[in-house]
Structure 1
Amino acid sequence: MSMSLIAKAMNIKVGNPIRKLVLLKLADNANDKGECWPSYQHIADHCECSKSTVRDHIDALEKAGLLVKENRTGTNNGKGNTFNVYHLKLDNPMPTPSTPPMPTGGTRISHSFEPVMEPKTPYPLPGASPRNRQEKTKPPTKT
């Protein structure tokens, strides 16, 4: 783990908070040369997002010139698993254009301008009997 890479990653604007988190996780995993090889799943687990979201943000970071992704084949005469090696390029980042954040596969955002209608009566407590719930919400009757 290279603290200088983490500090550099922290100071780079990437235009999206999840993308920033993915970049920080890569910097956290990198050696002093800026190389690391975590799996998409490892990054997704630590960043609390989906593998497809990680893949999308890594592609965006690569397009921005902040890393180079190298595909490698494992052992066993090239029949092993393939994995990516990431080479971080944080010394001279290209300026990030001012774009709205990229929607992610694991995040649902509503852009509706409709008002949220909250219930007027509180939700019943777990374990409360229907009779008790009625008595709590029913106004007292006049005798």
Structure 2
Amino acid sequence: MPVYGEKFYQMSNLIFLYNLNPIQLSVYSYLVCCAGQKDMCWPSVQTISLHCGCSENAARNAIKVLVEREFIRKVSSTRQVKSGKWLQGNNHYYILPLPDLPRAG
């Protein structure tokens, strides 16, 4: 998905109340941008890390946290190549409604 152009996406201002670190916020924002109005996207971890300015491991860790905290749902996918062998495909990411706000302690 091209990032340039006149495309826009919206995200709730409440996102800033969830104490996400900069990489987690960047990855979440990128996934929301990619999903658009469909609430689902499937960029590779390499693409996510490239657009978020972080390593692939940092992107994977951010995705793990976002799944654990129920911002997104990750579904693994596989694809079959001509030889008949099955390979890991890009994960599908579903953008979930924002979770309940953390309680002030």
Larger radius of gyration: 1
Q: 5 Å matches for 1:101-112?
A: none
The residue aligned with 1:111 is none
Q: Which runs of 5+ in 2 are unaligned?
A: 1-6
Q: TM-score, with normalisation over the residues of structure 2? A: 0.75
RMSD over aligned Cα atoms: 2.2
**Amino acid aligned to 1:42:** T
**Amino acid aligned to 1:84:** N
The residue aligned with 1:32 is 37
Q: TM-score, with normalisation over the residues of structure 1? A: 0.57
The residue aligned with 1:82 is 89
Q: Larger strand proportion, structure 1 or 2?
A: 2
Q: Counterparts of 1:69 and 1:37 in 2: how far apart (Å)?
A: 9
Q: CA deviation at 1:74?
A: 1.4
State the identity %: 28
Q: Which runs of 5+ in 1 are unaligned?
A: 99-143
Higher relative contact order (CA 8 A, sep 6+): 2
Q: Larger helix proportion, structure 1 or 2?
A: 2
Q: CA deviation at 1:78?
A: 5.7
**Amino acid aligned to 1:34:** D
